[in-house]
Amino acid sequence: MDFTIEVVKVAVVLFGVLNLAGLLTWVERKQSAVMQDRIGANRASIFGIRAMGLFHPLADAAKLILKEDFVPENADRILHTLAPFAALFFALITFAAIPFGDALEINGREIDLQVADLNVGILYIFAMMSMGVYGVVLAGWSSNNKYSLLGGLRASSQMISYEITMGVSIMGVIMVYNSLNLQDIVRGQGDLLLGFIPKWGVLTQPLACLLFMTAALAETKRIPFDLPEGESEIIGYFTEYSGMKFGMFFMTDFVETVLAAALTTTLFFGGWQIPYLYRDGLHLFGTVFPLPPLLIVVLQVLAFTLKVAFFCWFLMLIRWTLPRFRYDQLMRLGWKMMLPLSLLNIFVTGVVIMLLNA
């Protein structure tokens, strides 16, 4: 029974993440069209039905599946094949530690709406994110192309640089909620400040939220941080890839966007929390309005999904708003501005906590 429950949770998470990532390819096209005052992608159709271009992700998948799987001469075939799998695999298994709802009780049995309830969930997430760098480096190195190698080095240096800022920026969150367990952090955000303000991370750690979102955007390697690929003029690390191998790198970018949105939601915007909604019902004006437990869990999962969808949209909005950084600007921003600010945030958070406990 336990094994079946775990398999169902894994299937639900994978289905949700992969479908949302696929849908983002359509969202990106439509969003850019709206911002540029044009119609956008709407040519793909089935039996003449265009459905606002929703068939384009399916057309993309069909095109990539049918394309030739080309491997350059003298390339390392094993590593060349392994690289896209590694990049996508580590992006997907990171979601195992992210809670998408409170515990669901069925026949007296509590089921955590989280694939893996880890006491060190934050450490697990950063470990898996850092492993994703190997897929990028292997793609550049195994292609037997010096330009791809340079693209891989650019990407790995950028990812490692901004992972440091990401890690340091959430130290304040760990200090405030006193846990590395993501479920505990989300539950801690259900408390109230001054009796009526939700204790969300964005209110207790506003600077950390800004730094984390910026670093997370850099981790996704998208504009304005898309130096690793720079489609218009710079050679990227997946230059020598075609077919579904390229499609896996393409999908990894969108999965990482969903991951950045999910982590931002979990750490700073209450995760699955809905203000004033608790296990026993809705708390308003000193009165508790009872609600069915199943309805409460459904509302929490829906709230988490909507928050993630909003931040996916917001990250893509930035992609169509800001120009690309130069490489020196990119590194200067990470090392000379964001990292010192994140260290300062730890110091200020520590002082405030000490004064409040005094």
The pLDDT assigned to 93 comes to 94
pLDDT digits (tens, 9 = 90+) for 331-352: 999 999 999 999 999 999 999 9
Decide if 6 is inside a domain.
no
Mean pLDDT of 213-224: 88
| Per-residue confidence (pLDDT) for residue 214, from 0 to 100 | 93
Query: pTM (2 decimals)?
Result: 0.92
Copy the structure tokens of residue 29.
Answer: 């096209």
Q: Is 111 left (phi over 0), alpha (psi -120 to 50) or beta?
A: beta
Question: Is residue 25 in a domain?
Answer: no
Please give the pLDDT value at position 171.
Answer: 94
pLDDT tens digits along 265-303 = 999 999 999 998 888 888 888 788 888 888 999 999 999
Q: Residue 353: its pLDDT value, please?
A: 93
| Residues facing 106 on adjacent strands | 109
Average pLDDT estimate for 120-136: 91
Asked whether residue 285 is assigned to any structural domain, the reply reads yes
Q: What pLDDT score was predicted for residue 146?
A: 86
Query: Is 30 within a domain?
Result: no
**Residue 233: pLDDT band with limits 50, 70, 90:** low
Report the run of H or E that residue 284 belongs to, with start and end: strand 281-284
Give pLDDT tens digits for 147-183.
Answer: 888 888 888 888 889 999 999 999 999 999 999 999 9
The pLDDT tens digits for 82-113 are: 999 999 999 999 999 999 988 888 777 888 88
Q: Which residue has the tokens 């075609």?
A: 242
Q: Check the CA dihedral 213-215-221-224 and report its sign.
A: positive
CA distance 269 to 263: 9
What pLDDT is attached to residue 232?
Answer: 57
Give percent of the chain above pLDDT 90: 47
Please count the structural domains in the chain. 1
Q: Residue 224 — pLDDT band, cuts 50, 70, 90?
A: confident
SS3 of residue 112 by DSSP:
coil
Whether 142 is covered by a domain: the verdict is: yes
CA atoms within 13 A on the CB side of 294: 3
Residue 283 has phi, psi (to 5 degrees) of -100, 110
User: What pLDDT, on the 0 to 100 scale, is given for residue 104?
Assistant: 84
Q: What is the mean pLDDT of the chain?
A: 89
Query: CA 22, CA 54: separation in Å to the nearest integer?
Result: 10
Say yes or no to pLDDT of 322 above 90: no
Which of 15-29, 213-227, 327-341 shows the lowest mean pLDDT across its residues? 213-227
pLDDT of residue 230: 65
The pLDDT confidence band at residue 235, using thresholds 50, 70 and 90, is low
Q: How large a percentage of the chain has pLDDT more than 70? A: 98
Range of the domain at 233: 62-357
Average pLDDT over residues 117-121: 90
Place of tokens 């600077």: 207
Confidence band, pLDDT 50/70/90 cuts, at residue 1: low
